[in-house]
Structure 1
Amino acid sequence: MRLYSMPSSGNSYKVRLLLALLGRAIETTDVEYLTEALEGAKASGRLPFGKAPVLELDDGRLLPESNAILCWLGEGTGFVPADPFARAEMLSWMFWEQNQHEGLIAVRAALLTYPHRRAQATPDRLAALLDSGHALLQVMEDRLTGREWLVGDGATLADVCLYAYTHTADERGGFEMARFPAVNAWLARVAALPGYVGLDG
């Protein structure tokens, strides 16, 4: 298999993180923003939705979208609960991550990180993203208060999924993570999982 991965992207990182936690090594092609590699991958049809990550299977089939890739890789592993309700609950957090969390936490970080996005980083927009992002982080704080993982008694795909952008929310997005002690304790638990690699790992 081959992973088309954008090194700076949390969406790509969550796939690399799960692969590391599973002890699986695959070929990786880096397709960072504004590079010839990204344009080449698009031109070759390797990015069906025009963005990374995409997992190319051994038989040539292409699977886009980070959380779909997580589900495919996680099938039959301990990162997917056996109980149907717990599994659905895991998926609900993963849907929430893409529908709510990423659009605030990741977008604010992108506006502050990528030079080609800085024209969109108006004070009003950054302030609105900060306030709304803090509200979403409070949802996670409430969920994780008194429990170790988002779903069940162990790490699931939901934890891998939401870790990706949350663990850099302070340094890249400017969010006040000191306000969320339960989230910070959870971040430390994810980072302590066997096989863990960081964003730059």
Structure 2
Amino acid sequence: MRLYSMPSSGNSYKVRLLLSLLGRDVQTVDVEYQTQALDSAKAEGHMPFGKAPVLELDDGRLLPESNAILCWLGEGTDFIPADPFHRAEMLSWMFWEQNQHEGVVAVRAALQYYPHRRAQATPERMAALLESGHALLQIMDDHLSSREWLVGGAVSLADICLYGYTHTAGERGGFDMARFPAVNGWLARVAALPGYKGLTA
């Protein structure tokens, strides 16, 4: 398999993380923002939706979208709960991550981290994203205050999915992570999983 991955992106990282936790080998093609590699991958038809990550299967089929890739890779593993309700609950967190969490937590980090986006980081927008992000992180903290993992009693794709942007929310996004002790404990549990690799590993 070949993974078209943006090294700095949480969406790409969550796929690399799951691959590492599963002990699966993959050829990685780095396609960072504003690089020739990204332009070439698009021109050659490797990015159906115009963005990373994309997993190219051994037979040449292309699978875009990080959470779809997680579901494909997780099939038949313990990262997808056997219980139907827990499985649906896992998916609800994954949908929430893309629909709510990523559009705030990841966006605020991107406006600060990527030079070509800093012009969009107006004080008003950054303040609004900070307030919204803290509210979203509080939802996670409340949920995790009485459990170790987001779904059921074991790590699932929901945890891998939300770890991608949450673990850099303080460093890159400027969120006050000291306010979320349950989230911090959960972050530490993910980082302690066998096979774990960090964003820059």
Question: TM-score surpassing 0.5?
Answer: yes
CA distance in structure 2 between the partners assigned to 1:19 and 1:136 by the alignment: 27
How far the C-alpha of 1:91 sits from its partner, in A, is: 0.1
- TM-score of the superposed pair, with normalisation by structure 2: 1.00
Q: Give the partner amino acid of 1:155.
A: V
How far the C-alpha of 1:34 sits from its partner, in A, is: 0.2
Q: Give the partner amino acid of 1:103.
A: G
Q: How many residues align?
A: 201
CA distance in structure 2 between the partners assigned to 1:133 and 1:167 by the alignment: 13
- TM-score of the superposed pair, with normalisation by structure 1: 1.00
Q: Give the partner amino acid of 1:131.
A: E
**How do 1:7-22 residues align onto structure 2 when only pairs under 5 Å count?**
7-22=7-22
1:98 maps to which residue?
A: 98
**How do 1:1-201 residues align onto structure 2 when only pairs under 5 Å count?**
1-201=1-201
How far the C-alpha of 1:172 sits from its partner, in A, is: 0.1
Identity, in percent, stands at: 81
Q: 3-state SS of the aligned residue for 1:159?
A: helix
Q: 3-state SS of the aligned residue for 1:200?
A: coil
Q: Deviations over 1:66-90 (max 9, x none)?
A: 0000000000000000011000000
CA distance in structure 2 between the partners assigned to 1:148 and 1:197 by the alignment: 20
CA distance in structure 1 between the partners assigned to 2:166 and 2:92 by the alignment: 17
Structure 1 segments of 4+ aligned residues over 4 angstroms from their partners: none
Q: Deviations over 1:110-157 (max 9, x none)?
A: 000000000000000000000000000000001000100000111000
CA distance in structure 2 between the partners assigned to 1:76 and 1:142 by the alignment: 30
Q: Deviations over 1:18-68 (max 9, x none)?
A: 000000111000000000000000000000000000000000000000000
Q: Give the partner amino acid of 1:43.
A: A
CA distance in structure 2 between the partners assigned to 1:185 and 1:82 by the alignment: 25
CA distance in structure 1 between the partners assigned to 2:103 and 2:131 by the alignment: 13
Q: 3-state SS of the aligned residue for 1:175?
A: coil
Q: Give the partner amino acid of 2:196.
A: Y
* Structure 1: gaps spanning 5 or more residues: none
Give the root-mean-square deviation of aligned CA atoms: 0.3
Q: 3-state SS of the aligned residue for 2:67?
A: helix
Q: Give the partner amino acid of 1:53.
A: P
